[in-house]
Amino acid sequence: MTKQFTLALTLLLGQNIIAQTSPELNSAEILLGIKKLNTVGSVLYIAAHPDDENTRLLGYLAKEKNFRTGYLSLTRGDGGQNLIGKEQGESLGLIRTQELLAARRTDGAEQFFTRANDFGFSKNPEETFTIWNKDSILKDVVLAIRRFKPDVIICRFPTTGEGGHGHHTASAILALEAFDLAADPTKFPEQLKEVEVWKTKRIFWNTFNFGGTNTTSEDQLKIDVGTYNPLLGISYGEVAANSRSMHKSQGFGSAKQRGESMEYFKFLKGEAAEKDVFEGVNSSWKRLPSGTDIEGLISACISHFDPQHPEGSLPALESIYSKIKQLDETNPNVRYWKNQKLTACQELILQCAGLWMESYVSDYSAVPGSEISISNQIIARNTGNVKLNSLTFLGQTDKATDLQLSKNKLETIEQKENLSKSSPYSTPYWLAEPHTVGMYTVKNPVLIGTPENKPAKSVVYHLTIDGIDFHVERGLVFKSTDPVKGEVYRPFEILPPATINITDQVVVFSAMTPKEVSFTVKANQSNIKGTVKVAVPTGWKIEIKNPEVNLVKKGDEQLVKAILTPEKNGKDGQLRASVSINGSDYSKSITRVEYDHIPYQFFLSDAEAKIVFLDLKKTASKIAYIPGAGDNVVACLTQIGYDVTLLTDELLAKEDLSVYKSIVTGVRAYNTNDRLPVYYDKLMAYVEQGGNLIVQYNTNNRIAPMETKIGPYPFTISRDRVTDDNAPVTFTNPEHPVLHTPNTITPKDFEGWVQERGIYFATELDPHYETVFSMQDPNEKPSKGSLIIAKHGKGNFVYTGLVFFRELPAGIPGAYRLFVNLLSLPQNKN
């Protein structure tokens, strides 16, 4: 599917295309598309993250005002938290990218990004721009404006900080600067090979009233976006709830709102407007030379549209298509709207004809150079005046068909093709190259800003409908039938002959004892014979028990085990694995992400694992873990020798908890497990009798208020955090056992931490609680709530906002040492 055609699908109505690649619109959706065809205007919304966008406003602009509407999210939300699973970083960014696209399919807007990597919470734009390359991100915002050509730009946040997050404020700063630079031909002139300069009429801040901050005012411009759309059958408050509820990894399921709903706008720059956000914006065809006739034709098409017989609008749409095609392209603005409207009009013609076409493969993946079987199906359900002239396969083979379609008769054309040996492997384009903490590396400038990859391979259908030629591209997909889900689609993948995954991404040693490391080799074609090779840093010894792999069938896997032994001069470093096949080494691992609410996702990366040697002492090893929203802490504790039992609801109900030295709750456990309050008394009795209960961070906000008791004495979970991962840590209670038993904790143990120190610190502490550390971000007051400990009977209760869930999987030695000390807190004397 071409970029232009992909945009057109979103542009039309935002239909949900997770289930299929050939859209099927009902008559109401077709009529909405024709109405949108008659609007020649655009608006770009700019913010920082997935979920920042105002879905109610986007839906209103896209489906009521019928503007081409886009959302530019500077990041993909990679540094956030995950309510539905264990994914962090790149994997979480994939999830949130697809959640944004699902939201856009719901509200009708389009989605764009910059190369900025969400590195986690930032308290001010100054900090943000020390990690993001400001000039590069600014360049991306300018490119987005020049490509999209918005008449109006709307920011979600102000430059003055009321948005809270440093990324939020940075997004407004960048938007305001880009507003001017996009019109300046001396700025980023290399972009002008692809796009023209663009002068947006004005830019606003969409003021807000939430989180205790009201920035709206009655002297601001305002729009009632609570309108009901009878063609949709719902209001835009309901559209917004459906759209926002797509952000499932953030737990943003939203209630539907009905009735009047005002949005407010503060003018920032450009031509001032007195009464209307779009004052002076000509969004009719009259803005283009020769556009008046086209507007009249579309208006007539709308008036005569018959929902029982949408094919009756084909002659009118074909006349409109021909008129648009005749527009002069010498004017860049005319050329822009000509391309947009031709693509949209083509899709409306296909829908009115009841045309459905799809190309799918017999297997979901293949390797470069292999043969693939492609089934191509096409049907015209509303008219028989459609001819399939030919098909172009993978951009390499033309096949004449000369097939006159009979009304409502499904035609199938089979084809076998060989993939080029030089076909690139499939992986998200922004993850194809190594990246920094703040920026993704994208070598192809054409891809910058696009939400996702084009399909790996595609087929072009060359059609004639009522004498007009059309070329329709369909990306290759694989589809199957699940007994529960029904028809399931996934993208076609081009993969290396074999991938090799390392079981643990961090291999942690706390003694000189050898440790077994496992590698899983998976065949992506049949008859794979090869040898596993592993490189380790100086001072480590690796012995592969049986390095030879022999995989007969595609999809077969073989587990290869090795013994990794530390030596006295061993240093922390990277273990690198590959599999050698016919003289070539393949060193890619594959990470797959599967959730029902988004399309199937995966990415390739180098097969590497971090090796860490810890100076670590450990006491009793039998502990329990109550799962929360999802983290990898259990695997990390298992690596250093703990015997960890997962406490399910059933075990919590019947288990004798006294057999465990310590019990740990996973991140956000009290936010996600509504059964935990039932076991409050049992957990407190466990502490009182001598156990240690360690509660990792939970959230407490308007979306997820903390209304249950957690500890034996009162405290409040705040939104306090320390985002500087190098922030100095002061030991305020240096004699506390947690700093000495069994490991002596020093400031060195806080070196090398990633992303942040801690989040959702405790405040308003009952006097029974002791604090241990004080820390703060630059220019802020010290906070002591990162770790609180209370004696309760013979045992100890701990609440900590320190981000162990990030530090342990990253192999941070000090985080392991401190966490072990929490697990080892001694019993209290009566």
Evaluate whether 758 touches 721 at the Cβ level (below 8 Å). Answer: yes
Distance CA 202, CA 523 (A): 55
Evaluate whether 332 touches 340 at the Cβ level (below 8 Å). Answer: no
Helix 291-303 and helix 27-37, axial crossing angle in degrees, nearest 10? 160
Distance CA 466, CA 468 (A): 6
The two tokens of residue 16 are: 């949900």
The two tokens of residue 694 are: 């360690």
The 3-class secondary structure across 674-707, one letter per residue, is: CCHHHHHHHHHHHHHCCCEEEEECCCCCCCCCCC
Name the phi and psi angles at 757, rounded to 5.
Answer: -90, -50
Q: Give the chain's radius of gyration (CA, Å).
A: 29
Residue type for position 238:
E
Tell me the β-bridge partners of 69: 43
| Cα dihedral sign, 785-791-792-798 | positive
Distance CA 16, CA 9 (A): 10
Res 22: pLDDT: 85
Distance CA 458, CA 222 (A): 45
Distance CA 463, CA 379 (A): 12
- Nearest Cα to 307, choosing from 341, 351, 365? 351
pLDDT lower than 70: segments of the chain: 1-20, 702-705, 830
Q: How many of the other CB atoms lie within 10 Å of CB of 553?
A: 10
Evaluate whether 744 touches 759 at the Cβ level (below 8 Å). Answer: no
CA distances from 733 to 170, 745, 762 (A): 38, 12, 17
**Where are the extended beta strands (E) located within 13-102?**
42-47, 68-73
Name the phi and psi angles at 219, rounded to 5.
Answer: -90, 0
Tell me the β-bridge partners of 494: 366
Res 5: pLDDT: 35
Distance CA 52, CA 158 (A): 13
Res 443: pLDDT: 94
Res 289: pLDDT: 85
Question: How far is C-alpha 625 from the geometric centre of its chain's CA atoms?
Answer: 28
Tell me the β-bridge partners of 592: 602
Tell me the β-bridge partners of 625: 646, 664
CA distances from 778 to 626, 723, 757, 781 (A): 35, 10, 13, 9
Distance CA 720, CA 761 (A): 5
Distance CA 500, CA 576 (A): 10
Assess whether the previous peptide bond of 742 is cis (omega < 30° from 0).
yes
The two tokens of residue 63 are: 């489906």
Name the phi and psi angles at 421, rounded to 5.
Answer: -65, -20
Distance CA 197, CA 146 (A): 6
| Cα dihedral sign, 814-816-820-823 | positive
> How does DSSP assign 767-797, residue by residue?
TTEEE-EEE--TTS--B-TTEEEEEETTEEE
Beta-carbon contacts of 664 under 8 Å, excluding residues fewer than 6 positions away, are: 623, 624, 625, 626, 633, 694, 695, 696, 823
Q: How many of the other CB atoms lie within 10 Å of CB of 538?
A: 9
Distance CA 319, CA 315 (A): 6
DSSP state of 253: -
Distance CA 552, CA 112 (A): 43
Evaluate whether 477 touches 360 at the Cβ level (below 8 Å). Answer: yes
Q: What angle do CA 295, 222, 49 make, to 5 degrees?
A: 90
Residue type for position 331:
N
Strands laid side by side in the 477-482 sheet: 411-418, 371-380, 355-361, 477-482, 486-491
Distance CA 317, CA 324 (A): 10
Q: How many of the other CB atoms lie within 10 Å of CB of 652?
A: 19
Evaluate whether 60 touches 225 at the Cβ level (below 8 Å). Answer: yes
Res 2: pLDDT: 37
- Nearest Cα to 662, choosing from 762, 523, 800? 800
CB-count burial class (<10 Å; 0-12, 13-18, 19+) for 467: exposed
The two tokens of residue 204 are: 């606003």
Helix (H, G, I), strand (E, B) or coil at 698: coil
Distance CA 350, CA 357 (A): 10
Res 260: pLDDT: 86
Task: Give the chain's domains with CATH numbers.
Answer: 16-39+284-345 (no CATH), 41-282 (3.40.50.10320), 498-613 (2.60.40.2310), 622-823 (3.40.50.880)
Evaluate whether 15 touches 25 at the Cβ level (below 8 Å). Answer: yes
Distance CA 45, CA 225 (A): 15
b vs e for 420-448, b when ≥16 Cβ sit within 10 Å of the residue's Cβ?
eeebebbbbbbbbeebeebbbebeeeebb
